[in-house]
Chain A
Amino acid sequence: MTHPPYLSPGYGSTVLRAPSQPPVAFKADPDAIELTSPVFGHQEVGALDADLTRQHDGEPIGERIIVTGRVLDAGGRPVRDSLIELWQANSAGRYAHAGDQHPAPLDPNFTGGGRCLTDADGRYRFVTIKPGAYPWRNHPNAWRPAHLHFSVFGQAFTQRLITQMYFPGDPLMALDPIYQSIPDESARQRLISSYAHDVTEPEWALGYTFDIVLGRTPVEPS
């Protein structure tokens, strides 16, 4: 099973929020609006929206990184012109969100939100800084591994996906109930980006790759 179960008691917030009834299987109706998706125009996304290091007057503190990859459907075909949104903590592990009380510094030059559209090859590319790990109150001494939040649309509203990308070699992944909520080891590993030396730019930024594969829709041929 790819996705985590709704109820995953190690992640305390699921206990009162996980539906108790299984979702109702939907009999394929080719006219269902859930099989279509909003269309995002290039005028809706600014050219600089994909560079989170250039949203303020100065440069954010942290390790500059390039994150790129492709959005693919279940058959391996590229998903083009699809909106991808990314958000994250700053390099100290603090979100630019009023509710984040972690006593780590805010960075006046980093908001931590970006978006872009995939190209004809399904490819996206963000420039940002590597986020820090941060504590949360789920259990004693709980820390989230460094991660980027990704939101992807795809070609059908049923393919809508929000997920998190992790970094290779992070020892906190083994201790994280959100990452560990995915039962299957190989599925979990699909959320770990790869260090990519060919994406790394000399004297500038480290490169990581992360592909996103969307679920099959009920009317999609296999």
Chain B
Amino acid sequence: MMRGLDWRLALRLALRDLRGGLAGFRILILCLALGVGAIAAVGMLRSAIEGGLSDQGAIILGGDAQMNFTYRFASDPEKAWMAAHARKVSEVVEFRSMAVTADDRTLTQVKAVDDAWPLLGVAGLDQGTVAAALGIQNGLPGALMERVLADRLGLKVGDTFKLGLQSFRLGAILTKEPDSATAGLGFGPRTVVRTADLAQSGLIGPGTLFETDYRLILPPGADLDAMKAEAETAFGDKGMRWSDRRHAAVGVEKFVERLGSFLILVGLAGLAVGGVGVASAVRAFMETRMATIATLKVLGAEGRLVMGIYLVQVGLIAGLGVAIGLALGAAVPVLAGSLIASLLPFPAQFGLYPAPLLQAAFYGLVTGMLFALWPLSQAVRQGAASLYRGAAARVWPRLAHLGAMAGLLGLFVGGAVWFSGSAMLALGTLGGVFAALAVLALAGFGLRVLARWLARRRFVDGRPGVRLALAAIGGPRSEALAVVLSLGLGLSVLAVVGQIDANFRASIARDLPSRAPSFFFIDIQDAELQPFLAGLKANPAVSKVENAPMLRGLMTKINGRKARDVVGDHWVVTGDRGITFADTPPPGTQITAGAWWPKDYTGPAQVSFAATEAAEMHLKLGDKLTLNILGRDIDATITSFRKVDFSGAGMGFVMALDPAAVAGAPHTSIATVYATPEAEAAILRDTSKAYPNVTAISVKEAIARAVEALGTIATATVLAAGAVLVTGVVVLIGGAAAGVRARMQEAAVLKVLGATRLRILASFALRSALTGAAAGLVAILAGGIGGWAVLRLVMDLPYRFEPVSAGLIVLGGMGATLLAGLIFALLPISVRPAQVLRGSE
């Protein structure tokens, strides 16, 4: 396309055109800088959060890697393997228990540690050292507690309390737990003790629910992938679970995953918004060059020379704008970093990340070239006379140029896919953006038709302000389409982000089960089960009691193949699950396929599986599952599917086994109790006095914990949404700035004809309001569809249209644009007409 072009001549002419100073290019540079800055800033935020998660990964995890077991300590071969591979090993036991004082008791998540804890990071205490606080004084072992827990129990440092049968002295208040990720979405606040001190507590034994984590410090340069594979091959089918610093946040995996997708989406949203800024800036700039292009043609310049000159020029100016934008993008997170970090519930690492800067530069230049090429190519095909006259460009660009644009577009899409690291998300988002642009183009076209129709109505007669506004929208050289496109896309992106954000937060309130039980009781021993249930059932405040025996186990294989290989990361196989057993279907069971085993069945093990999960995992009747329960493998055949509701906080087991399959395995029972809220305190007091080893979990507290976890995501989304919002508004303001020149001309002519400033301003406002309304309507639609797609398809969360968020965001965006438009109109209407009119003589 550029063959035979004298590039030196093009460069010389381009530079000569620039020599008059950068005044005429200020708006272009500003808009480019804002667009690129938006992309860079959002990218930097994303990197900061990701960097924080990976940098802190090892500390959150408590080691470079961790091997986790359910119900048991590591076996000798497992310990030997760890000793052979790690430089240091630390053992941590986790379980739930009741912390008991003379007159109070409450649930706590106990972390029992060895002398090596914490392997990484530092535990924050209100006084003394870990060793002193946990050490034995006057025969009493020490413990650390979170402040909330100590306060709830009315404990001060030095006071005593009991875990099971063992008394402890509160040695210090735990202000910061370095390896907090393992708490995950656990229940209840934290108590830390030494494992050795629990020997007499009666809390850790066969059948009780506990987990052990072995934290490993690995030699430098250890190959995490290879070690993971080796450990999983050796111990994976014995219930060992591996995690390492790359995916530290055990138990918050889903959260990190959702946040990760959300951050990618935010990056792409920033790209869309910034891209719009760059595009409209270059387009507006090219329009100001048309007369010069015409003159060049008159003077004998060929199309390719014209192309060369302006591509060089756009390249040079874009380079400058991109550089400023990068500085902006780099400065914003550095300056606002500490503020943002204080809002985030997890560590973010702010700094200069080169990758997002390079990406922003790439996007800025590609977008700039893409949007310069189109009007240039049109100009090259058009006669000089029609260029002078500013006639609407109706010609199509040349085929070769269309090819080049397609190439640039491909580069852009490819870049988005490559940089985001998720082809699905990137293509989905860009697909959504293009769909939104198509709808917006329709809306812009419709608006122009409407404006032309309205202009012919009688009510316009005698209203020059209205006429001017309608003419500006419906007439030739209208900016309406471009404004609807850029404003509409910006608002759409904001609306989608707003929908996601609002849904996250609404889901916290909405998804709380309304018919949740008051308590879960766990660790009920067989011998005490009947009196325990009888006592509760006798209580008139109790409306319902459900109970089931429970063991925990990990599904390791499906039909002899590794379960993870068959169903990937389905939640049923990612960790140990509660498994129940029963010889007859529990009351209310709905069998959807197959049949329950006969009473007193003793043949090969059978399992009844939750229907919905089975369908997700493509399980069929007759499939064979290998379950690791307490280190023993059980091969069970699926003989029925049944309906299980996991949505409420009631009892739900994915798998139910026939009793003979687990005969002799130590187990406990779990019970859910539904009672009136007023009776809850008494029930807790009575049951825990009578059955000290039974752990009660208040569902309210569990829900509060879940709310906290969801709140974390909500904070992150608010923050990310805020970033997109701010950059979006800035880009919209840039768009308003781009129209200053045209406004000036209009205002000058209207003043010659006797119009006052107020009248001119009102007309500009009406125009903005009309285009804004068209853009806003589309944005609300896009917000609904986009929000649904992201939440349902990407985040796997329920979606409901949030009209308040959509309305506020769209109105706010329109308001900001209107305001920006008016502010940028103040200059045009206050300039003396002579200056403007003379400039265009």
Q: Decide whether A and B are members of one complex.
A: no
Name A's B-contacting residues (CB within 8 A). Answer: none
